[in-house]
Amino acid sequence: MLTENQRVFISFSFFGLLNNILYVVILSAAVDLVGASTPKAVVLLADVIPSFSFKLVAPFFIHKFPYIVRLWSILVLSTSGMFLISLTPTESIATKIFGIAVAAFSSGIGEVTFLQLTHYYHEESAIGGFSTGTGAAGLLGSFLFLFMTNILGMKVWIALLSFSIVPSGFLLIFYFILPPIKYVVDQYEPIQTDEEEHIDISNSNSLQHTEKDIWYYRIIRHIYHTFKDIKPLIFPYMLPLLSVYISEYAINQGVAPTLLFPLEDLPHWLFASYRDIYVVYGFLYQLGVFISRTSINFGIRFRKLYWMAFLQFINVIITVYQSIYMDFPFPSIWFILILTFYEGLLGGLSYANTFMSVSENVPKSKREFSMGCVSISDGAGVVFAGLINLWLETTLCSIQVSKGRDWCLTGGE
């Protein structure tokens, strides 16, 4: 018989897995969705801007929606998005991008929802489970897509369609495994209201004018106090996580598509085309993310969050040099594969340790709110990286073509 903490860990592991796996599969299929000639940053931006936009505004209103309403919204949106992505003809890129955006929006709702939900349970079990699940999503999603398409030779649209049934698992976990929510009223600290700060309306000329003034005042006070609560989170938690995500997604979607080697020098069973190289990079990155996000459950902690941001930026410099000079600093693909795995380790460590630090250092009355706010950072980092990559990938590819290496132009073949 499972203990309550074990049920919490399992539930949040599946929440993290199910919420992130579609995001990973979509990024793994970037070359297939838009072709080799289109920057993969297009897919990255479509996969993250809707999620980031929601997380950016969620602190102002998300508390108005019950968790079960959010859960059904995630289910409907993510399933609809995957249908659009998989069943839309290849030439209809705009419709595919819209499907990606719909699925991404549901992922944003999910991350905010489940991180805030950890507040109502044993937080080490809940956060550890969610971190493990999101890491497993990267590993399992990239592996399944690689296995279905590279090894089994399955058509991409069929592989993508098969993932549309995944979101139904949210309801099964919520109703049958997750223990009931434990609301702790005395730990909640509401944002200050106008009843607490007196408004003098005795001299108002009309009831209509008075109601308008009160409504306007409440909006302004709510926005002011929300920003005031976000401010202490920026430097210790949000900025380091933002920096890590800018660096790693600059590598994954901007530089990695140009880190190519002659196919004749690679094992044909794994690399039958240049497109396969990109998929393998994605799998190894997600393997590193999974291991590092899981490590937090074994008491492995790194509290120096800015160090991970610095090390990830060094990886950007190394991979950009590799793309430009090809044989420097690494002469073969095997070194790049190791570096990609290490990059994933840093990214996963940063994510898991950031949210564990929030749960340890932020007062309980602010913890649910803070979890949702800090989740803005990873989305913002991916958006900034995507904008950078619109220029970075095409620039690196042009440099390679000028040197007689045109593989980046045929990455989907």
Catalogue all structural domains in the chain, each as residue range(s) with its CATH number.
4-185+229-410 (1.20.1250.20)
The reported pLDDT for the residue numbered 276 is 85
Residue 213 has pLDDT above 90, yes or no: no
Q: Give 196's contacts (C-beta < 8 A, 6+ positions apart).
A: none
pLDDT per residue as tens digits for the range 272-282: 888 789 888 98
What distances in angstroms separate CA 374 from CA 135, 176, 303, one per listed residue? 18, 29, 16
Reported as a pLDDT band with limits 50, 70 and 90, residue 202 is: very low
Tell me which residue of 183, 245, 190, 243 sits closest to 221, measured CA to CA: 190
Using pLDDT thresholds of 50, 70 and 90, give the confidence band for residue 186.
very low
Highest-confidence segment of 19-28, 141-150, 215-224, 340-349: 340-349
Give the Cα separation of 389 and 177 in Å (integer): 41
Query: Given this model, what pLDDT does residue 222 score?
Result: 79
- pLDDT band of 198, cuts 50, 70, 90: very low
Task: Please report the pLDDT score of residue 80 as a whole number.
Answer: 95
CB 70 within 8 A of CB 113: yes
Whether the bond between 257 and the residue before it is cis, its omega within 30 degrees of 0, is: no
The larger pLDDT score, comparing residue 106 to residue 253, is at 106
Q: Is the pLDDT of residue 189 over 50?
A: no
Among 272, 262, 254, residue whose Cα is nearest residue 331: 262
In single-letter form, the type of residue at position 198 comes to H
In angstroms, the Cα distances linking 89 to 78, 83, 92, 413 are: 19, 12, 6, 18
Closest-CA residue to 252 (of 340, 148, 154, 134)? 340
Q: What is the pLDDT of residue 239?
A: 97
With CA atoms as reference, report the closest residue to 127 among 365, 241, 3, 297.
297
pTM of the model: 0.78
- Specify the pLDDT at position 211: 66
Q: How far is CA 259 from CA 139, 319, 406, 411, in A?
A: 21, 8, 12, 10
Q: Which of 15, 24, 116, 134 is nearest to 74 (CA)?
A: 15
Q: Where are the alpha helices (DSSP H) in 251-300?
A: 274-294
Q: Report the 10 Å Cβ neighbour count for 205.
A: 7
Range ranked top by mean pLDDT from 37-51, 189-203, 282-296, 335-349? 335-349
The more confidently predicted of residues 112 and 63 is 112
Predicted local distance difference test score (pLDDT) of residue 208: 53
37: tokens are: 């000639």
pLDDT of residue 224: 86
Q: Show the DSSP H helices in 326-375 as ranges.
A: 333-361, 364-374
Lowest-pLDDT range of 69-83, 104-118, 314-328, 398-412: 398-412
Q: Is 50 exceeded by the pLDDT of residue 190? A: no
Give residue-wise pLDDT tens across range 157-169: 999 999 999 999 9
Rounded distance, CA 1 to CA 343, Å? 39
Enumerate long-range contacts of 355-363, CB under 8 Å, 24 or more apart: 355/115, 355/127, 355/131, 356/124, 356/127, 356/128, 356/131, 356/296, 356/301, 357/236, 357/237, 357/303, 357/305, 358/233, 358/237, 359/118, 359/123, 359/124, 359/127, 361/236, 362/233, 363/189
CA angle 72, 170, 178 (to 5 degrees): 115
Q: Which H helix or E strand runs over 110? A: helix 93-117
Rounded-to-integer distance, Cα 308 and Cα 243, Å? 9
What the block records as the tokens of 103 is 């699925």
291-338: pLDDT as tens digits: 999 998 888 899 999 999 999 999 999 999 999 998 778 989 999 999
Instruction: Report pLDDT for 199.
Output: 46
